[in-house]
Amino acid sequence: MPSTQKYKRILLKVSGEVLMGQQPYGIDLDTVGRLADEVLACAATGTQMALVIGGGNIFRGLAGAAKGMDRVSADHMGIMATVMNALAMQGVLTRKGMDARVLSAIAMPTVCETYSRAKGIHHLEAGRIIICAAGTGLPFFTTDTGAALRAAELSCDALFKGTSVDGVYSADPKSDPDARRYDTISFNEILAKDLRIMDPAAIALARDNGIPVVVFSIRKPGAVVEVLSGGGLFTTVTKD
Ligand code: UDP
């Protein structure tokens, strides 16, 4: 299996909402456990795994700003939420016997390691799973952009974007019966058609660094390892 796989090192991005399971808010540990099993199944194929988990299940800066909060403080709260999610995932992975490390873009040395490229690559090469937390470490950004940034820095072969749909569609498949799913699509087409699979800054970063983005449904059990081996439904976003 490992030698036939296209991607040797991937960055898997999931939004914080995935961690909620059926709950309206927060972290459902059973759901984190299921996601951890998927990640472990990928790691078992020999693929080096870096994770980025959003924070939307706990707090989004824009929502805070809409209620009158200072945007920068609100974004810092969103950033903290991503660290909480990362710690939850690390705990579950560790309990399952995997050495996993949280690398935060904002230094909090008594809580987790501080992100550096060298440290990230060192852990990956040692067979550990890394969870890149705190997004870019900066307000006004998103964890999608953080994911594209880390994928570029860590020389990942692909950015796997787990969403609630099984790829990129020409229109919203929930409201448009004529919507068709692309097997492949270019970054520029995504931007031109304003197909919002990730924010435009993240798309541009992946495009400029030649990192294919693989969009698939994280809701489908076993999807990550299936897509990793080239099966199942997904869309690959590439340069041309
Ligand atoms: N955030 C930020 N800078 C970053 C990454 C995240 O300010 O580089 C904040 C922002 O407020 C965002 C929140 O953290 O709303 C949660 O991240 P995101 O919305 O990307 O999470 P997701 O939607 O993927 O769960």
pLDDT at 149 over 70: yes
* pLDDT score at 5: 74
Determine the distance separating the centroid of ligand 1 and the alpha carbon of 5, expressed in angstroms: 31
Q: Which of 82, 164, 198, when mutated, tests ligand 1's pocket best, judged by the most ligand atoms within 8 Å of its CB?
A: 82
Nearest Cα residue to 58 out of 90, 92, 19: 19
Q: Evaluate whether residue 2 is within a structural domain.
A: no
Average pLDDT for 100-127: 98
Determine the distance separating the centroid of ligand 1 and the alpha carbon of 190, expressed in angstroms: 21
* pLDDT score at 3: 45
Pairing, β 184-186 against β 129-133: unpaired
Q: Evaluate whether residue 60 is within a structural domain.
A: yes
pLDDT tens figures, 20-33? 999 999 999 999 99
Q: Evaluate whether residue 104 is within a structural domain.
A: yes
According to DSSP, residue 169 is labeled: B
Average pLDDT for 215-238: 96
Nearest Cα residue to 81 out of 63, 99, 95: 63
pLDDT at 83 over 60: yes
CATH code at position 24 = 3.40.1160.10
Amino acid, res. 91? G
Q: Evaluate whether residue 137 is within a structural domain.
A: yes
Q: Helix, strand, or coil here: 82?
A: helix
* pLDDT score at 214: 98
* pLDDT score at 173: 87
Number of domains into which the chain is organized: 1
Residue 88 has phi, psi (to 5 degrees) of: -65, -45
* Burial of residue 172, with CB atoms counted within 10 A of its CB: 0-12 exposed, 13-18 middle, 19 or more buried: exposed
pLDDT at 240 over 80: no
Q: Evaluate whether residue 3 is within a structural domain.
A: no
**In which element (H, E) is residue 151 found?**
helix 143-153
Structural domain that includes position 89: 9-238
Q: Evaluate whether residue 1 is within a structural domain.
A: no
According to DSSP, residue 17 is labeled: G
pTM above 0.75, yes or no: yes
Top pLDDT among 208 and 6 is at 208
Q: Evaluate whether residue 183 is within a structural domain.
A: yes
* pLDDT score at 4: 56
Alpha carbons 215 and 235: distance in angstroms, whole number: 5
Pairing, β 235-238 against β 213-217: antiparallel
Does residue 197 contact residue 237 with C-beta atoms inside 8 Å? yes
64 in contact with ligand 1, CB cutoff 6 A: no
Determine the distance separating the centroid of ligand 1 and the alpha carbon of 141, expressed in angstroms: 7
Q: Evaluate whether residue 114 is within a structural domain.
A: yes
pLDDT at 47 over 60: yes
69 in contact with ligand 1, CB cutoff 6 A: no
Instruction: Provide the pLDDT confidence category of residue 191 given band limits of 50, 70 and 90.
Output: very high
Please give the full DSSP string across 118-129, using - where no structure is assigned.
HHHHHHHHTT-E
* pLDDT score at 1: 43
The tokens for 82 are 């991503």
* Burial of residue 233, with CB atoms counted within 10 A of its CB: 0-12 exposed, 13-18 middle, 19 or more buried: middle
